[in-house]
Structure 1
């Protein structure tokens, strides 16, 4: 819809946005663009749905344009509100992937008494101490995101394996079966 909006920085640490062709705004972390060059069907304050972080300081490559750093952090439509806190699957993934024993994971979301609750369900490499890993993930989620999200381990092979892009956020009415693993609740 927008066409090309930027180009990779020669320093290989982000994407410079074409501010000569667009007016870019970051609204609640979302990239919003107004195309300056379209006459027939202009896009005005087009919401991309991409969650980004930008830097507006001059770049060492010489580009005067703002730069997206860290890639696209998530999608607005992926966000879930857990106990009043906006949580993106990419934030949870950043924390879960710090644990090399995690083989696969999903975020189970369910509604309980009109509030969304979440549990991170992990598969661990054989022989991993599930209680320790889950306790660590739960604590890191709490300190980083400011919300308590439980962690539960399930046997290897329990979670779905995506063929293409992983779908991390799953709405459930009943959780994946427990067994063979621990959960952190302390």
Structure 2
């Protein structure tokens, strides 16, 4: 009995992770509603029972994908945070990466938030809440970097504008530009917000 338990504990997390990774790749490309559980299972090579062992529904699965995505996203933010550079450069590097990765269409590594934000906001409250929490995580990180930039002198502090307000304006602008870039199939929206952000950073 103890041996079986040990085997289960070793195998189970890998199966769950594999399902989440497969679902992420499919949903990031096609959207949440366009991807069915059968397609996820067929692509992952996992039996139906394994899916429902971990996820009570497709909605719960979608929420888990979003949570996992933002956990990995936070790791990337932490890497930038630990760099031995001033706060302005950290923000610049963050948006440089966004600009570089969001150009030339969407693939499974780029557009999960852009793709899901409008799609699931009205159809799934748990997924909406997960997306909102992830967005707020990023806004909080940007706000902290702006404050650090004011403190180290690398960013000019404007009068009567809170750091969180600036962070929200930038994030909203970039999220919107990514959506319009997807719709228009041009990189112009991203180029515009990149120019705006770097100008406001004093670059």
TM-score of the two chains, using structure 2 as the length reference: 0.27
- Structure (1 or 2) with the greater strand fraction: 1
- Structure (1 or 2) with the greater helix fraction: 2
Structure number with the bigger relative contact order (C-alpha 8 A, sep ≥ 6) is 2
TM-score of the two chains, using structure 1 as the length reference: 0.29
